[in-house]
């Protein structure tokens, strides 16, 4: 037992982890530190460097992720901030997820990225961790993982791309991807023009330049007090973005020394503010799923902040930000109008200013010491409270016999407001394949008053809850000039999309006793936004009987029959099997049940 204890423990590699927690993977604390230093020194670090606060920087650059294309420059600037403040920055990778290159969906991989993030922050000797993210699912994945790891975390967002230009008109991913594609489908523009548009929709690196999911999550991250206020909107290719990165490096060292963990910063007040901002920006419906997932990672909040609260907060929050898809402008306009500094100042009377921020100051104190000047242009992009775009509830949660645990709608993006109170006959598609086969069939029995329903695209159903909820208008109706119809699904839609579209129906049809699973073509459905009601107009007995019959068929294998999808999922291998067996429903965040603070 002659273990020497005089190895200098004050010179420890990352004071916040490993050694001080008694995690001695090599049997003895002093020997563990000795060994770690052996290996890290292979990279040329000195004792002096290793005695500094160690700031991890998560690099999510990938050749398949143009939204993170500026990560190398951000890393350089963040390192500068760390080193100027007396820390040592060490870069490491996690997986990267881009919307377009994530089969079957980026949402399918979000929880994997959150696990990767959580475990690598926990595993490695970092005192604080800068997390470079931006594309839709990456920021929620990193915040979810960061909250669970609960070391000081500093999101560093890649920022929005610039808008492009087509024949003198600004265009940008991806609201204009959809508008222009719809025009092409309706024969309003030709092949040559759509090809030209394709070149300009994403003219620079960075995240989608409208108020889609990426921009929404960026604004929410600022509202939660986790990033510098400019960090929500400074363009990916701007000098301002690099200054935010440098500032993040500086703050990482401060946060490391103060041991400012996400669980200590975030509170019900922070999430209240996030919900106010979500409503005021007319944010992406995806953010409602992500916010619930983030909330449910926090041990103090997971049971008392429910989806319904996002709706309640919306009822007293006006829509102020005039950005596509709810409005007309781009993220660069939002930034030039003052971005989150302007928006939070406008929203001041509605916010819980006592919420803490990453600086150690409250949100109120942070706003007090951040210069803000209003001007005419700013008022056109970020309206004053007295002149909102829409008085309340840009996003709403509705309930009813079809969606006992809720469904979500971005009412502000509805193109035909009459549909916000509508009764019609359902035209049901069982899944995406069924939709693809029949939607444009000239013989499809559908009118502009029909309600288009697609099932089988919930968290489990597809799997990964694809953004297929924005069912295109059937070609024959589009050609007649129909631009909006009421649509219902258990899936999501892109934050950059618009229309009168009910999403995230919970429980999803993939669950054997889901009421949504038994909706049939010809059923009458009634929707009333004001009453927050979505009702299948059949009597209770018939509804119960349909559910029981379907449940029996899905959960009991009959001799000689092929196993139902549900039964196949119970034994499926790999990540997909894990996903299908443990993902919770969209109103809970579509997280894995064993990752929530409450556990399985
Ligand atoms: Fe990455 Fe839109 S594709 S943010
Ligand atoms: Mg998106």
pLDDT digits 0-9 by tens, 469-497: 999 999 999 989 999 999 999 999 988 78
Closest atom of ligand 1 relative to the 174 alpha carbon: 2
Ligand 1 pocket test: pick from 101, 110, 135, 330 the residue with the most ligand atoms within 8 Å of its Cβ. Answer: 135
pLDDT digits 0-9 by tens, 147-162: 999 999 999 999 999 9
Regarding an ipTM greater than 0.95, the answer is no
Query: Nearest-CA neighbor of 321 among 215, 462, 241?
Result: 215
Residue nearest to atom 1 of ligand 1 (CA): 135
Closest atom of ligand 1 relative to the 496 alpha carbon: 2
Residue 361: exposure state from Cβ atoms within 10 A (0-12, 13-18, ≥19): middle
Ligand 1 pocket test: pick from 60, 65, 99, 330 the residue with the most ligand atoms within 8 Å of its Cβ. Answer: 99
Closest atom of ligand 1 relative to the 98 alpha carbon: 1
pLDDT digits 0-9 by tens, 504-541: 999 999 999 999 999 999 999 999 999 999 999 999 99
Ligand nearest to the CA of 215: 1
Q: Which residues contact 384 (CB under 8 A, 6 or more apart)?
A: 320, 346
Mean pLDDT of all residues in 58-76: 98
Ligand nearest to the CA of 98: 1
The token pair at 200 is 């300009």
Single pTM value for the model: 0.95
Query: Nearest-CA neighbor of 64 among 92, 102, 93?
Result: 102
Q: Is 467 in the pocket of ligand 1 (CB under 6 A)?
A: no
Q: Is 266 in the pocket of ligand 1 (CB under 6 A)?
A: no
Compute, in angstroms, the gap from residue 137 CA to the centroid of ligand 2. Answer: 8
pLDDT digits 0-9 by tens, 412-442: 989 999 999 999 999 999 999 999 999 999 9
How many Å apart are CA 128 and CA 130, to the nearest integer?
7
C-alpha distances out from residue 31 to 19, 45, 120, 121, Å: 10, 19, 22, 22
Q: Is 90 exceeded by the pLDDT of residue 119?
A: yes
Ligand nearest to the CA of 218: 1
How many Å apart are CA 110 and CA 575, to the nearest integer?
12
Q: Is 136 in the pocket of ligand 1 (CB under 6 A)?
A: yes
Residue 169: how many other CB atoms lie within 10 Å: 11
Ligand nearest to the CA of 286: 2
Compute, in angstroms, the gap from residue 21 CA to the centroid of ligand 2. Answer: 40
Residue 150: how many other CB atoms lie within 10 Å: 17
Q: Is 90 exceeded by the pLDDT of residue 557?
A: no
């Amino acid at each position: 037992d002659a273990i020497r204890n005089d190895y200098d423990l004050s010179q420890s590699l990352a004071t916040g982890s490993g050694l001080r927690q008694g995690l001695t993977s090599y049997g003895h604390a002093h020997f563990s530190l000795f060994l770690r230093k052996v290996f890290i020194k292979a990279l040329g670090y000195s004792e002096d460097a290793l005695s500094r606060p160690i700031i991890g920087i998560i690099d999510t650059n990938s050749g398949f992720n143009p939204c993170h294309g500026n990560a190398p420059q951000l890393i350089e600037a963040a390192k500068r901030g760390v080193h100027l403040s007396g820390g040592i920055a060490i870069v490491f990778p996690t997986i990267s997820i881009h919307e377009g290159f994530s089969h079957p969906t980026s949402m399918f991989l979000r929880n994997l990225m959150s696990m990767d993030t959580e475990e690598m922050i926990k595993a490695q000797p970092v005192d604080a961790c800068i997390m470079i993210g931006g594309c839709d699912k990456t920021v929620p994945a990193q915040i979810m993982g960061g909250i669970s790891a609960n070391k000081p975390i500093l999101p560093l967002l890649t920022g929005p791309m610039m808008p492009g230009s087509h024949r003198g008109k600004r265009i940008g991913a991806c609201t204009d991807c959809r508008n222009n594609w719809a025009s092409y489908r309706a024969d309003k523009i030709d092949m040559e023009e759509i090809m030209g548009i394709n070149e300009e929709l994403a003219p620079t690196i960075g995240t989608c330049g409208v108020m889609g999911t990426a921009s929404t999550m960026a604004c929410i991250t600022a509202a939660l007090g986790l990033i510098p206020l400019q960090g929500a909107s400074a363009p990916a290719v701007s000098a301002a973005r690099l200054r935010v990165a440098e500032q993040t490096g500086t703050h990482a060292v401060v946060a490391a020394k103060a041991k400012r963990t996400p669980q200590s910063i975030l509170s019900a007040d922070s999430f209240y503010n996030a919900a106010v901002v979500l409503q005021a920006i007319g944010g992406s419906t995806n953010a409602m799923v992500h916010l619930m997932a983030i909330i449910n990672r926090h041990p103090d909040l997971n049971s008392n902040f429910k989806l319904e609260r996002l709706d309640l907060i919306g009822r007293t929050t006006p829509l102020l930000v005039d950005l596509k898809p709810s409005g007309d402008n781009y993220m660069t306009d939002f930034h030039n109008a003052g971005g989150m500094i302007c928006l939070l100042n406008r929203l001041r009377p509605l916010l819980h200013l006592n919420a803490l921020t990453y600086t150690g100051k409250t949100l109120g104190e942070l706003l007090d010491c951040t210069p803000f000047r209003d001007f005419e242009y700013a008022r056109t992009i970020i309206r004053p409270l007295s002149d909102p775009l829409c008085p309340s509830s840009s996003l709403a949660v509705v309930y009813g016999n079809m969606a006992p645990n809720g469904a979500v709608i971005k009412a502000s993006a509805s193109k035909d407001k009459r549909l916000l109170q509508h009764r019609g006959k359902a035209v049901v598609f069982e899944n995406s394949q069924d939709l693809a086969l029949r939607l444009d069939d000239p013989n499809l029995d559908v009118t502009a008053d029909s309600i288009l329903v697609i099932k089988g695209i919930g968290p489990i159903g597809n799997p990964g809850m694809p953004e297929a909820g924005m069912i295109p208008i059937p070609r024959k109706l589009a050609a007649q000039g129909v631009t909006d119809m009421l649509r219902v699904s258990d899936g999501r839609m892109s934050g950059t999309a618009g229309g009168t579209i009910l999403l995230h129906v919970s429980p999803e049809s993939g669950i054997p006793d889901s009421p949504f699973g038994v909706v049939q073509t010809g059923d009458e459905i009634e929707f009333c936004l004001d009453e927050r009601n979505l009702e299948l107009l059949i009597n209770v007995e018939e509804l119960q009987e349909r559910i029981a019959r379907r449940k029996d068929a899905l959960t009991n294998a009959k001799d000689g029959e092929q196993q139902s999808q549900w039964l196949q999922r119970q034994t499926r291998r790999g990540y997909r099997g894990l996903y299908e067996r443990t993902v919770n429903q969209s109103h809970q965040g579509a997280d894995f049940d064993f990752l929530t603070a409450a556990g399985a």
